[in-house]
Structure 1
Amino acid sequence: MNNFATKISIFIVIAALISACNVVKKVPTKKYLLTKNNLEVNNKNITDEKLTSLIIQQPNSSILGFKLRLHLFNLAKENTDSLFKAKYINNPKKYYRQANWLSKKQVNRLGKSFWYSGIHTFLKKTGEPPAILDTTKIRRTTKQLKAYHFNEGYFNAKVQYKVKYENRFSEVNYKVTTGEPTFLDTISRNIETPAIDSLYLLTQNKSLIKVGDQYKTLNFDNERARLTSYFKNHGVYHFQRENIDFVIDTTSKKAPVTINIYDREVKDGDSIKKEPHQIYRISEVNIFTIEKEAKNQKAVADSAITRRYNIYSTNKLRYRPRAITSAVFIQKDSLYSEDAKTQTLRSLSNLNIFFYPNIEYKEDSLGKLKVNIYLKSKDKFSFKANADFTHSNIQQFGISGSTSVSIRNIFRGAEILEFGLRGNIGSSKQFSNPDDSFFNVTEIGADLRLSFPRLFLPFKTTRIIPKRMFPTSYISTGFAKQQNIGLDKENFTSIINYSWTPKKNTNFKFDLINVQYVKNININNYFNVYNSSYNRLNTLAHIYNTIPLFYDEFGNLTKEEGGADGFISSALNNQFPALDPFGSDYRTIKSIKERKDRLTENNLIFASNLSYYRDSKTDFLDKEFYSFRGKIESAGNLLSLLSGVTKQEKNPDGTKDIFGLQYSQYLKSEFEFIKHWDLNHNKIIAFRSFFGIAIPYGNSKSIPFSRSYFAGGTNDNRAWESYSLGPGSSGGLNDFNEANMKIALNAEYRFNLFGDLNSALFADCGNIWNISDSETDETKIFNGFKSLESLALGTGIGFRYDFNFFLVRLDLGFKTYNPARIESERWFKEMRFDKSVLNIGINYPF
């Protein structure tokens, strides 16, 4: 702690010395550095960014009051070329000494080097030039403040400013006097086209402009957009926003409003004439599929005519008509609709068998619209390959690669068949590595996936899930084999999945069948992988073991020749007189045996699950939003019914097999809520809460490892490494600690340092527990609210650099409250750098 205090003291002294530098060093004579803006509205100080952002000229940015970027800019030297020449070229003796040591060319190039030139360019780019007071920008600001308040209904607002000068510094005070606001009085309409007037009456009660409301320009803009969208979705093809105008009496505190909706303007030669708006219906829908290899893309070689659509192809039509028409929301005899056009474009794009579609409307001689949809087919076959360098909770470094071949429209129904191969080699310190090789983990896999642009079911579902919800289905199967990862697993998976989007920002996913079979190949490697279990067992063997056969030449339990397993078997069969069968050491050996049996058993998981996701994010730039994700999964019920029907006999432990394999049976649910608050000025508070629980029953006494929960790591509690936290207050005794219940709470205060460098202060709270399973250790079991005392708390600081297309994140976590320690030493005892955990991640943790 003394060294830490010394470092902090040095940092404070250095910061004080820098802050003592002349901040007006590069402010020209008779100019002033802007240090502060004050905004006062009706004698109240305003800090709301919605208003303060209207001030055009802002002071230099600061971090906790320190203008770091300005100081960096002031450190940069000007005219580095001239300074270099003055030092070397204008000093012949020094120049020739350097030239003899280097060369004339190298000496001349020194002026372009990082030390003489590059460092100053870097300081200028990273730094920030002084904010020199500009009265022109002040006057522009007063106009913006007045315009803002005018748009809020304060038509007579007055804006004044006053500049306070002190030495070389300046401070600007803006004062706004709004006056009384204007409220809307009567609302009347003047609509030139009778058909538009009739439509307006149908939607009048949904108007965003209401009598008695305070005038706000935004409400009028939104009402114009609403009416335009309404008319264009009810057949008015030529309607534009410019056809709507509002007249407001701004001289009165109770302003009457007139809504003017004008006729369409049409060019007639060199003049403009007016015509009434017309409500259009669709006369015909023509769909043209254009093959890439077609010689004459305008010629029609094949066609298919249905009741609502005409389909034409430049080659032989290779799509079933319904495969295309089910993605088209524009129908013959329907009213023109802008939404139908948008949905059609989106749906056709989602098929992934055409390039971006083009939709064209043309008026026919009967006063209707003819629709032409042009679809250019993608290649039937496509090939992809990629390679990545990876970092994860398990691998410190890895190289992964994958290839895939896709076959589009394989059954003429816009289906896509994809076959992929993947592989990975990596380095991990968490697994045994007897050969001390850098790449000590490998994985290879193959996947086959067939996707459908509809719900693939033997019965119709359009009444329950209509095509406007963009339903999709996929059937997939895969195989993966891991070597030198744990027990060298083989993993077989098969999934039948359905997804649909009932409305914007809402999504459902349903796995009708989700089958996973995990087979452990190298069970004899268990004690090489799970060293913590072996070390505890070996310690107990030195106390109780009386059988020399279990030891190697160094006096330790053999790991692979049966020594460890033999000691466990003998201990549990009461062959060691000194071992109390009712004592804690006996329970520890039994616990190690139960954990080994669970982690080495093969798992057959036959599950179904339903996921729901919703968020409120409006676009990519939305900083204040929430998201919710819920999932429920049930496994083993169908196999339990099948084993009962086939009258399978029970195993000695009371479980049953199906196809010679023991199956898992459990019920699992998860809930996650994320909320972001925008504090303005690039400051955000982000919060995440997660709860998950999986209860085994029937044929299972515990949850498969692949379906269990762990705590710690880059996207969880960052003060602990992955799998090192919990369960409960047990202290993470195992190499990979997992359980069947989890609570996680995370909060971050995110802010910008300068440029693309951001930072965050965070707090992570959570843990995992065992509940309603085979675990008997009370420190690991959740027993009601009392167990919440074992929630771990980690706090820390993070740095993030934004590369626009992704974000690199460094988080330093400190164990603030560690439930594994004795009660008197849980708080703040590990708030040290030597006990901290460095996390490296991509993008935000939540």
Structure 2
Amino acid sequence: MKKNSTKITAFILIAILICACNAVKRVPDGKNLLVKNNILVNGKSTNDETALNQMYQKPNGKLLGYKLRLNLYNLANLNPDSTYKAQFIKHPHRYDRWSKVLSAKQVDRLGQSFLNKGLNEFLKNTGEAPVIIDTSKAKKSLLRLKYYYFNNGYFNVSTDYSIDSIARKKAQINYKITTGPGFTIDTIRTKIMTPALDSLYKNNPEASILKSGNQYKTSDFEEEKNRITTYFRNHGAYFFQPTYITFDIDTIGKKNKANVTLIISNNNIQEKDSSRTEPFKLYTISDVNIFTDYSAANAKSKISDSTTYNNFNLYSYKKLKYKPRAITDAVFINKGSTFSDTRTTLSSRYLNNLKIFNYPSIQYEVDKRDSTAQSLIAKVYLTPRKKYSFGTTLDVTHSNIQDFGIGASISETIRNVFNRAETLEISTRLNIGSSKDMANPNDNFFNVSEYGVDLKLNFPRILMPFGTEKIIPKRMIPSTSISGGFSKQRNIGLDKENFTGGISYNWSPKRHNSVKFDLLNAQFVRNLNPNNYFNVYTSSYDELNGIGKVYNQKPINWGDTPEQQIRRDLTIPNGTTGFTNDVLTNQTALLPGDPQYKDVQSIEERRVRLTENDFILATSYTFTKTTKKDLADNTFYQFKTKIESAGTLLSAISSLGNLPKNANGNYEIFNLEYSEYIKTEFDYIKHWDFGKEKVLAVRSFFGIAVPFGNSNYIPFSRSYYAGGSNDNRAWQPYSLGPGSTNAVNDFNEANMKIAFSAEYRFKVFGDVKGAIFADAGNIWNVLDNVIDEKAKFSGVNDLAEIALGSGFGLRYDLSFFVIRLDLGFKTYNPAHEKGDRWFKEYNFGHSVLNFGINYPF
């Protein structure tokens, strides 16, 4: 607590120092600091973000209403070198004294030290110079505003500005806009010179952006240009560009209305020093030539191998290494088809998706063999990647299991394995780490390890015994992935062997939609050291041992240490197993219905569940839809849903085959009860961009997994947990819930989860961003064999157990990823008694510091 008090005191002192700065310290006399741009439209102030962005000058940035960067700049000495030298000019004997103690060279170097120069440079570069009002920039801003409102239909707009002093050396600029009435579109006519384009325009099923009665907006005219251009270029108009489209706006004799004439001129052809116009032609594809091993080095070499397949011509400068269909399936440009930009884009996407070529290039040239000059030859240039590529990675890790870890992996990618554009990825990994919580009899620093190998074979098509083209056409870029893997852990929990394998299909029904269908996803988890359970899950041991001290009636084991004999501690595993069996077979004073009896029963239920080997054979369907265009897009939403069914196929086969059940009334495979459950998830993310690098992001999640048939619980690997850097950041991973249990176990999980998060992001300075966040949610057990009522979700009233965490964070943007620090505070903790849940632990002592890579959602 003393350490926290010192930090808080230091933080307050720094804050007071910054706040004490004079904001106009570096504003020259006769000048004013720009405090606000106030836009008055017809006498009323507006917060139109687009209008405010027209300003050439904007006030200094704020952090939570405070001009932090301006005050940091004002703290800096802008001329530290001159200041350092001035003290010796003013006091010449001081330099001599310092030179005797240090040396003349060292005294000179002090002027370049961090405290004298480095700190001031940091404050200067991190801070922001005061924005001084410049009337010439104000006039430019006013002109921009005039164009902005003119482009939105206010043709009679008038503008003016004034500067109002609001304090000493502080002023605001008032931009006064008088719009006049807005003009609307009256009649819309067309004047299209090329008959073929005129016919296309009339047959276009898409509605025009421009509509009679709508207010005039220049942006609508630009959208209409793009709409027409896209339609024409997808229907053969190869040489057409948006510049051929103009609009004639006529307001003569109209009151606040404008007649619009859409004009599309003929094709302008440049020929040496002259030019001519002619009607546009609609082109068809006469040939599709694919160069399978093109490079700049062999561009002028002779073709040595070629073939024709389904009207595609394939050429190779060396021996053709691909089966023709592997390439032609990825090309949507067909001989005899109409030229289309969409087909070109689809072909580029599909060829890129094969991952065996570098940046495919598609070019067109007019076919000189066609006397009408209305045919194009499509040329597809493919530059193969290397058949073999080798990769290595080295990572330093930290987790809730490992205090320190070093991980390394080696991977090999083999392309075009079967000459049909397949890729085979083979990777091995090794991780060694240190954990003070794990068994370490030899006192070795590296006392935990994990190694594994993974294989993944990708096919650029759907592998099925029947055709799927009608259901999943190739424009959806389908692919098939067959994978398998093995990993082994040592001294990590119960020590595990994990075998995985599966086959999955992927495709994109639309540009921003994707589907993943796992036909089979198999996982076998084998616990190698189940007797170590109570050494790992110490909370369960402490609870069981506390009950055993009171109710254990067995004599002390001869192998017990003297300390154990004195404390009467249960040994692991013999003592814990023996006492649990005695309780559950009514050989102690505890009876069914006693609270401690239920506690022992619950501890044993969890031990059995977490130490049993698991076999999962699942089928799942995942659908994702996003409106995100690129990494810079901060106005989008993403929706993801998944449904998974495990064990259903095995149970159906067992039932049809009339296979026998074991003593527990369940089916087995390989002498192991397999898991059977159904699981569904919904995940929704939404971002709003408020400009000036201010973003509001929200996320909601709901997931539930219900066991049935062969199972009465969900395997640990398929269950949910709460807390952590990407969840509720006021709690550590696995330390929230289930329900109101106060995380009594070490790794708390359950089979239902609800989560909500909201985060407001803003710029602090440079590449440093800040955030204020709130996270809500919890996990519960439902429809399984957990008997603790506090952990179960029984009805709507249990929604009162949704925990709330809030806090703030910093992010440093490195362009290719973001380093994130978040400090979370427990705002509402359902583990406390009702009426005592709000702000009970809202302090630095109970806060949680999270480190993460990239944004949480």
Report the TM range for the smaller structure's normalisation: over 0.9
The residue aligned with 1:564 is 576
Q: Deviations over 1:410-447 (max 9, x none)?
A: 11110111111012223445544555544333211101
Aligned-residue offset at 1:355? 1.4
Amino acid at match of 2:663: P
1:415 and 1:450 in contact (8 A); partners too: yes
CA distance in 2 between partners of 1:522 and 1:20 (Å): 62
SS in 2 for 1:290: coil
Aligned-pair Cα RMSD in Å = 2.2
Tell me how far apart the structure 2 counterparts of residues 333 and 292 of structure 1 sit (CA, whole Å).
28
- Partner SS state of residue 181, structure 2: coil
Using a 3 Å threshold, how does the CA distance of structure 1 residues 260 and 618 change in structure 2: closer, same or farther?
Answer: same
Match of 1:798 in 2: 809
Structure 1 range deviating more: 802-811 or 231-240: 802-811
Residue in 1 that maps onto 2:380? 373
Query: Judging changes above 3 Å, is the alpha-carbon distance between structure 1 residues 766 and 170 closer, same or farther for their aligned structure 2 residues?
Result: same
CA contact (8 A) 1:549 1:563 kept: no
Q: What are the Cα deviations for residues 193-213 of structure 1, in whole angstroms up to 9, with x where unaligned?
A: 111111111127621111111
Give the CA deviation at 1:241. 1.1
Corresponding residue number in structure 1 for 2:180: 179
Q: Is the 8 A contact 1:648 1:658 kept in 2?
A: no
* 2:674 alignment counterpart: 663
Q: Deviations over 1:309-365 (max 9, x none)?
A: 011111221111000000001000000111111111111111111111122211123
Q: Which residue in the other structure is 1:553 paired with?
A: 562
1:136-162 CA-to-partner distances (Å, cap 9, x unmatched) read 110001101000001000011011101
Within 1, Cα distance between the matches of 2:674 and 2:709? Answer: 10
Query: Deviation digits for residues 486-539 of structure 1, max 9, x if unmatched?
Result: 101100000101010011111100000000000000111111101011111111
Deviates more, 1:234-243 or 1:13-22: 13-22
2:550 to 539, 543, 548: 543
Greater displacement, 811-820 / 22-31: 22-31
When residues 37 and 615 of structure 1 are mapped into structure 2, their CA distance, relative to the original with a 3 A threshold, is same
Q: Deviations over 1:553-593 (max 9, x none)?
A: 322435435111111112222222x2233311111111111
Kept after mapping to 2: 8 A contact 1:796/1:813:
yes
Looking at structure 1, the residues matched to 475 and 437 of structure 2 have their Cα atoms a distance apart, in angstroms, of: 49
User: Is the partner of 1:823 in helix, strand or coil?
Assistant: coil
Deviation at 1:647, TM superposition (A): 4.2
Offset at 1:612?
0.5
What is the percent sequence identity of the aligned residues? 52
The aligned counterpart of 1:28 is 28
2:598 match: 587
Offset at residue 801 of structure 1 (A): 2.0
Q: CA deviation at 1:670?
A: 0.6
Aligned to 1:213: 214
Distance 1:203 1:43 in 2: 44
Q: Judging changes above 3 Å, is the alpha-carbon distance between structure 1 residues 659 and 4 closer, same or farther for their aligned structure 2 residues?
A: closer
C-alpha contact 1:508 1:613 (8 A) present in aligned 2? yes
Residues 10 and 522 of structure 1: CA distance in aligned 2, closer, same or farther (over 3 Å): closer
Match of 2:693 in 1: 682
Distance 2:445 2:653 in 1: 47
Q: Secondary structure at the match of 1:372?
A: strand
Matching of residue 298 in structure 1 with residue 309 in structure 2: no
Paired with 1:263 and 1:295, the residues of 2 have a C-alpha distance of: 40
Q: 2:849 aligns with which of 827, 838, 844?
A: 838
Q: Report the counterpart of residue 450 of structure 1 in structure 2.
A: 457
The equivalent of 2:272 in structure 1 is: 269
Count of matched residue pairs: 845
Q: Which moved more, 1:812-821 or 1:61-70?
A: 61-70
In structure 1, the residue corresponding to 2:582 is in which secondary structure?
Answer: helix
Q: CA deviation at 1:618?
A: 2.7
- Mapping of 1:807-846 within 5 angstroms? 807-846=818-857
Q: Secondary structure at the match of 1:507?
A: strand
Cα 1:533/1:238, change in 2 over 3 Å: same
In 2: Cα distance, 1:294 partner to 1:812 partner: 55
Q: Which SS does the other structure have where 1:502 is aligned?
A: coil
Amino acid aligned to 1:409: N
- Mapped to 1, the partners of 2:105 and 2:169 lie a distance apart of 45
Structure 1 293/42 Cα, relative in aligned 2: closer, same or farther at 3 Å?
closer
Greater CA drift, 134-143 or 754-763: 754-763
Kept in 2, the 8 Å contact 1:291–1:315? The answer is no
Structure 2 alignment gaps of length 5 or more: none
Structure-2 residue corresponding to 1:336:
339
Asked if the contact 1:809–1:843 (Cα under 8 Å) also holds between the matched residues in 2, the reply is yes
SS for the counterpart of 2:204 is helix
Q: Which residues of structure 1 form unaligned runs of 5+?
A: none
**Cross-structure match for 1:610:** 621
1:767 aligned to 778, 781, 803, which one? 778
Distance of aligned partners of 1:807 and 1:205 in 2 relative to their CA distance in 1, 3 Å threshold: closer
Judged with a 3 Å threshold, the aligned counterparts in structure 2 of structure 1 residues 275 and 604 are, in CA distance, closer, same or farther, namely same
Cα offsets for 1:377-431 (capped at 9, x unmatched): 2221111111122344544433222111111111111011111101222344554
Counterpart of 1:538 in structure 2: which amino acid? N
CA-to-aligned-CA distance 1:577-622 (integer Å, 9 cap, x gap): x223331111111111111111110000000000000112233222
Secondary structure in 2 aligned to 1:825? Answer: coil
**Secondary structure class of the residue paired with 1:650:** coil
Correspondence 1:51 to 2:62: no
Amino acid at match of 2:562: E
> How far does residue 20 in structure 1 lie from its aligned partner after superposition?
4.2
Task: For 1:419-498, list aligned pairs within 5 A.
Answer: 419-428=426-435, 431-433=438-440, 435=442, 437-498=444-505
SS in 2 for 1:824: coil
**What TM-score, normalized to structure 2?**
0.95
| Equivalence map 1:50-89=2 (5 Å) | 50-88=50-88
Which whole-Å CA distance do the structure 1 matches of 2:643 and 2:393 have between them? 34
Deviation at 1:9, TM superposition (A): 8.7
Distance 1:297 1:390, change over 3 A: farther
- In structure 2, which of residues 308, 311, 328 is the aligned counterpart of residue 308 of structure 1? 311
- For 1:117, what is the secondary structure of its paired residue? helix
Whether 1:131 and 2:131 are equivalent positions in the alignment is yes
Q: What's 1:652 paired with?
A: 663
Q: CA deviation at 1:245?
A: 0.7
